[in-house]
């Protein structure tokens, strides 16, 4: 946990985190409050824009549960494919989809992650994309009638060329991120976009902050699932701020298993 004070000065380099308030000149926050949201990559932060921070309401759950949960709304019977499925977001999206009665396939990059998806997180199927030479053929095996929902975390030619060809008519793609592309000088070219015309599907980007106003509604649905143990959450924890850069770079190599956490301080 980082520690922070509220003032009117500059913002730190941002990142999602949880923190304890040490001092505050803002009426909504007081010393000792626990908050989550955009905090700094530093041990002590001076926060000037507290609208990106939320106070904890439910202290009976591990703090880090609050940092990775996103909205997704599949329908019963939909056939769903999730890429980067063993990451911070994918693991939850897959479990939500299962709770809503979907068939869920997860893609990940190691045997360990595939085992987790199938045996701990309750996905119907999972596969190691590094072992599939022909993703198009693989997706046709799992989705002979096409993909109703693709939850996009990966991007790039290999993944999207195959997925777009296998979307079902009137399917839906929720684009959360494209981690394979962020560090390339030139993003890869995707050649199968014509499929959006033939299959008339819907491809839409979103970002979590736009849905913050629904967060309390979301908690009403999700907290009971967490209490009943119907949702598992896997974290990959490293100790010490000095491990931060390596942990961040590991995300782009797929080294993390579950949500990558950096512990700045235990207090």
Which residues contact its own copies (rule: CB under 8 A)? 155, 157, 160, 175-178, 181-182, 186-207, 210
Q: Which is nearer to its own copies, 189 or 245 (CB)?
A: 189
Distances 32 to 22, 29, 97, 161, 215 between C-alpha atoms, Å: 6, 9, 37, 50, 23
Q: Which is nearer to its own copies, 56 or 206 (CB)?
A: 206
Q: What is the DSSP letter of 96?
A: H
- How far apart are CB 119 and its own copies at their closest, in Å? 31
Q: Packing angle between helix 156-165 and helix 135-142, nearest 10 degrees?
A: 40
**Rg of the Cα atoms in the chain:** 20
- How far apart are CB 166 and its own copies at their closest, in Å? 15
Q: Which is nearer to its own copies, 50 or 78 (CB)?
A: 78
Q: Which is nearer to its own copies, 24 or 148 (CB)?
A: 148
Cα-based angle 138, 80, 215 (whole degrees, multiple of 5): 145
Q: Which is nearer to its own copies, 64 or 180 (CB)?
A: 180
Q: Which is nearer to its own copies, 13 or 197 (CB)?
A: 197
Q: Is 256 helix (H, G, I), strand (E, B) or coil?
A: coil
The 10 Å Cβ neighbour count of residue 66 is 21
- How far apart are CB 13 and its own copies at their closest, in Å? 19
- How far apart are CB 191 and its own copies at their closest, in Å? 5
- How far apart are CB 176 and its own copies at their closest, in Å? 7
Say how many residues make up the chain: 267
- How far apart are CB 33 and its own copies at their closest, in Å? 31
Do 175 and 149 meet the contact criterion of CB atoms below 8 Å apart? no
Q: Cβ contacts of residue 255 below 8 Å, gap of 6+? A: none
By CB neighbour count within 10 A (0-12 exposed, 13-18 middle, 19+ buried), where does 183 fall? exposed
- How far apart are CB 170 and its own copies at their closest, in Å? 9
Return the residue matching tokens 């993390």. 256
Q: Which is nearer to its own copies, 162 or 178 (CB)?
A: 178
By CB neighbour count within 10 A (0-12 exposed, 13-18 middle, 19+ buried), where does 162 fall? buried
């Amino acid at each position: 946990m980082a520690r922070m004070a509220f003032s009117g000065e500059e913002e730190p380099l941002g990142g999602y985190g949880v923190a304890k308030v040490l001092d505050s000149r803002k009426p909504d926050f007081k010393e000792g409050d626990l908050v989550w949201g955009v905090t700094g990559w530093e041990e002590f932060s001076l926060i000037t824009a507290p609208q990106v921070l939320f106070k904890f309401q439910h202290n009976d759950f591990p703090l880090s549960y609050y940092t990775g949960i996103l909205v997704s709304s599949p329908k019963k019977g939909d056939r769903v494919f999730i890429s980067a499925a063993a990451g911070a977001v994918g693991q939850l999206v897959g479990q939500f989809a299962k709770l809503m009665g979907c068939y869920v396939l997860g893609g990940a990059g190691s045997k360990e992650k595939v085992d987790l998806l199938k045996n701990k997180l309750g996905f119907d199927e999972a596969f190691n994309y590094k072992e599939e030479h022909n993703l198009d053929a693989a997706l046709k095996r799992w989705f002979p009638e096409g993909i109703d929902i693709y939850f996009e975390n990966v991007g790039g030619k290999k993944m999207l060329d195959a997925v777009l060809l296998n979307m079902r008519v009137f399917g839906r793609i929720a684009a959360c991120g494209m981690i394979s592309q962020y560090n390339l000088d030139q993003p890869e070219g995707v050649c199968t976009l014509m499929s959006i015309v033939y299959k008339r599907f819907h491809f839409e980007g979103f970002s979590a902050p736009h849905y913050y106003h629904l967060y309390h509604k979301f908690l009403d649905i999700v907290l009971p699932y967490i209490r009943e143990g119907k949702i598992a959450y896997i974290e990959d924890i490293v100790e010490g701020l000095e491990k931060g850069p390596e942990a961040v770079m590991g995300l782009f190599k797929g080294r993390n298993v579950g949500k990558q956490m950096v512990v700045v301080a235990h207090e």
